[in-house]
């Protein structure tokens, strides 16, 4: 049996090495240098397209915990990362060219992996295939993924609103209510008086924006998905008649209908995370923090995900993917990397690792690995495959997606200790799971 892997990026390279390690033959297709993505600079595998940092390796950091879990699962790229590490304070940064060269050599010298420098434009769901073509998947392949999944299940741009932790909301100011008299009181509302709104508007309209890459400049965003700064530039009151409309949102404690209201919508099953409705934004992150912290009730909000807008091909995983990364449409088809809606270098490698292991288990008729949400990788895969998402947008590892843990108030306030407890639970959970497989 042979597995086809489309894309030799971070996820595809890890998945290929996982399969090879299990003596499974792989045909690995990489379109560079025959066709380019617009962001990659070399023809090497596993290229880091932008920063050369993978974030922290400390278990009290969400991305650090993920790396520890990947070590337990036997990641093939992590040891190469450590070999290519360069001094960068608390961050795990690498010499990116050395790293990609080492991964490329490792793959080219592997007898189980056949490399084809070719753009794949179509695939058959009758054969085992891992699609790991990344955020800059070529147009023709994107078309065939779309026909495989269905018209509405592939997206081309991130338009992400920031996400914050509910525990950090100040409910002396914020209050629960439904959205415009519909449904139950599911929304957290942050009311603003006129002065607060003007201050907010001033920060918003003067904040610097992240510069778009040349291949993103022609991006057309849907009118209903416009960045909040673009809406604000249309006039002082545009937001008050749009996402910040205060009509009907009366705080029962004061009986006041405010000048403007920012609404927060539940973002995960355990209701630990909330996103800011209508706040998709391209502002620089420091400005986003300043803007969010200017909102009454969010003065100390812990931001787990900043808003971003960029070209990003990703599938509607909640509808089409299971947490094992197998597609619900054909069991032969797995997805890995950023195309699944996980975001970040570490996350892409981690999902390639899981997809590779699970593809080998699938081929060998073994039950697939589905990690629990006690673990960072399990929480990520459950988040992206959670069917009730209505406006799915990519996510990176963060503490808010883990299943909650019962802690007394004192420990809850001590972030480091809380994260340490969550991390130890995660590592024990993954070890237990693997020893019982």
Ligand X SMILES: Cc1cc2nc3c(=O)[nH]c(=O)nc-3n(C[C@H](O)[C@H](O)[C@H](O)COP(=O)(O)OP(=O)(O)OC[C@H]3O[C@@H](n4cnc5c(N)ncnc54)[C@H](O)[C@@H]3O)c2cc1C
Is the bond leading into 356 cis (omega within 30 degrees of zero)?
Answer: no
Number of shown-chain residues binding ligand X (CB under 6 A): 35
Query: Shortest Cβ distance from residue 54 to ligand X (Å)?
Result: 7
Query: Shortest Cβ distance from residue 133 to ligand X (Å)?
Result: 4
Residue 143 or 196 having the CB closest to ligand X:
143
Helices (H), 281-344: 285-293, 317-320
Of 231, 229, 240, whose CA–CA distance to 204 is shortest? 229
Stretch that binds ligand X, among 30-38, 66-74, 123-131, 267-275 (CB under 6 A): 30-38
Query: Shortest Cβ distance from residue 338 to ligand X (Å)?
Result: 4
31 lines the binding site for ligand X (CB under 6 A): yes
Pairwise CA distance, residues 351 & 96, whole Å: 20
Query: Shortest Cβ distance from residue 17 to ligand X (Å)?
Result: 13
Query: Shortest Cβ distance from residue 430 to ligand X (Å)?
Result: 22
Residue 144 or 178 having the CB closest to ligand X:
144
Interactions with ligand X, residue window 202-241 (CB under 6 A): 213
Residue 7 or 162 having the CB closest to ligand X:
7
Query: Shortest Cβ distance from residue 21 to ligand X (Å)?
Result: 18
Pairwise CA distance, residues 327 & 306, whole Å: 28
313 lines the binding site for ligand X (CB under 6 A): no
In sequence order, the 6+-apart residues with CB closer than 8 A to the CB of 144 are 121, 122, 123
Count the Cβ atoms, other than its own, within 10 Å of residue 191: 24
Pairwise CA distance, residues 330 & 318, whole Å: 15
Tell me if 430 sits within 8 A of 72, measured CB to CB.
Answer: yes
Copy the structure tokens of residue 386.
């959670």
Stretch that binds ligand X, among 90-98, 332-340, 362-370, 397-405 (CB under 6 A): 332-340
315 lines the binding site for ligand X (CB under 6 A): no
Give the one residue of 64, 296, 344, 356 binding ligand X; rule: CB under 6 A: 344
Query: Shortest Cβ distance from residue 115 to ligand X (Å)?
Result: 11
Give the one residue of 8, 115, 231, 359 binding ligand X; rule: CB under 6 A: 8
Terminal-to-terminal C-alpha distance of the chain: 23
| 3-class SS letters over 243-268 | CCCCCCCEECCCCEECCEEEEEEECC
Query: Shortest Cβ distance from residue 323 to ligand X (Å)?
Result: 18
Stretch that binds ligand X, among 31-39, 172-180, 400-408, 424-432 (CB under 6 A): 31-39
Stretch that binds ligand X, among 45-53, 265-273, 324-332, 359-367 (CB under 6 A): 45-53
Pairwise CA distance, residues 215 & 193, whole Å: 41
Residue with tokens 């699609």: 131
394 lines the binding site for ligand X (CB under 6 A): no
Give the one residue of 56, 268, 332, 338 binding ligand X; rule: CB under 6 A: 338
Q: Is 266 exposed, middle or buried (0-12, 13-18, 19+ CB in 10 A)?
A: middle
Query: Shortest Cβ distance from residue 20 to ligand X (Å)?
Result: 17
Backbone angles phi, psi at 187, to 5 degrees: -95, 145
DSSP 225: G
Query: Shortest Cβ distance from residue 245 to ligand X (Å)?
Result: 34
Stretch that binds ligand X, among 9-17, 183-191, 290-298, 418-426 (CB under 6 A): 9-17
Helices (H), 150-265: 194-206, 228-232
Pairwise CA distance, residues 94 & 36, whole Å: 24
Stretch that binds ligand X, among 167-175, 333-341, 384-392, 410-418 (CB under 6 A): 333-341
Biggest CA–CA distance in the chain, Å, is 72
In sequence order, the 6+-apart residues with CB closer than 8 A to the CB of 281 are 161, 162, 227, 228, 229, 288, 307, 309
Residue 340 or 375 having the CB closest to ligand X:
340
Stretch that binds ligand X, among 7-15, 123-131, 196-204, 286-294 (CB under 6 A): 7-15
Interactions with ligand X, residue window 101-160 (CB under 6 A): 119-120, 132-138, 141
Q: Which residues bind ligand X (CB under 6 A)?
A: 6-12, 29-32, 37, 39-40, 49-51, 119-120, 132-138, 141, 213, 337-339, 343-345, 348
């Amino acid at each position: 049996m042979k597995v086809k892997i489309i894309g030799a990026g971070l996820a595809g390279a890890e998945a290929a090495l996982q399969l090879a390690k299990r003596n499974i033959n792989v045909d690995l297709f990489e379109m560079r240098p025959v066709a380019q993505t617009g962001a990659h600079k070399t023809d090497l595998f596993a290229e880091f397209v932008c920063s050369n940092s993978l974030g922290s390796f400390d278990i009290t950091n969400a991305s650090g915990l993920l790396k520890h879990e990947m070590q337990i699962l036997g990641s093939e790229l992590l040891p190469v990362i450590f070999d290519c590490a360069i001094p960068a304070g608390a961050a795990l940064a690498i010499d990116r060219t050395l790293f990609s060269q080492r991964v490329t050599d490792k793959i080219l010298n592997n007898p189980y992996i056949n490399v084809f420098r070719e753009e794949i434009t179509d695939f058959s769901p009758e054969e085992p295939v891992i699609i790991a073509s990344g955020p800059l998947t070529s147009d023709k392949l994107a078309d065939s993924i779309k026909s495989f999944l269905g018209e509405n299940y592939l997206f081309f741009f991130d338009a992400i609103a920031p996400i914050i932790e509910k525990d950090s909301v100040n409910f002396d100011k914020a209050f629960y209510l439904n959205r415009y008299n519909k449904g139950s009181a599911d929304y957290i509302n942050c009311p603003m008086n006129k002065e607060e709104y003007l201050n907010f508007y001033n920060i918003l309209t003067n904040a610097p924006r992240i510069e778009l890459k040349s291949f993103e400049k022609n991006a057309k965003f849907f009118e209903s998905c416009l960045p909040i700064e673009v809406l604000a530039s249309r006039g002082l009151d545009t937001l008050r008649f749009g996402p910040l409309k205060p009509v009907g949102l009366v705080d029962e404690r004061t009986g006041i209908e405010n000048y403007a209201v920012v609404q927060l919508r539940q973002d995960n099953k355990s209701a630990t995370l909330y996103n800011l409705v209508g706040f998709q934004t391209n502002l620089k992150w420091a400005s986003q923090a300043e803007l969010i912290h200017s909102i009454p009730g969010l003065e100390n909000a812990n931001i787990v995900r900043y808003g971003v807008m960029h070209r990003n091909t990703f599938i509607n995983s909640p509808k089409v993917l299971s947490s094992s990364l197998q597609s619900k449409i054909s069991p032969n088809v797995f997805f890995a990397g950023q195309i699944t809606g996980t975001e970040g270098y570490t996350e892409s490698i981690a999902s390639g690792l899981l997809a590779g292991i699970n593809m080998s288990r699938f081929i060998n008729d073994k039950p697939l690995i589905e990690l629990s949400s006690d673990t960072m990788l399990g929480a990520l895969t459950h988040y992206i495959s959670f069917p009730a998402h209505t406006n799915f947008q990519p996510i990176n590892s963060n503490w808010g997606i883990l299943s909650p843990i019962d802690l007394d108030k004192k420990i809850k306030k001590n972030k480091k200790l809380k994260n340490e407890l969550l991390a130890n639970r995660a590592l024990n959970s993954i070890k237990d799971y693997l020893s019982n497989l």
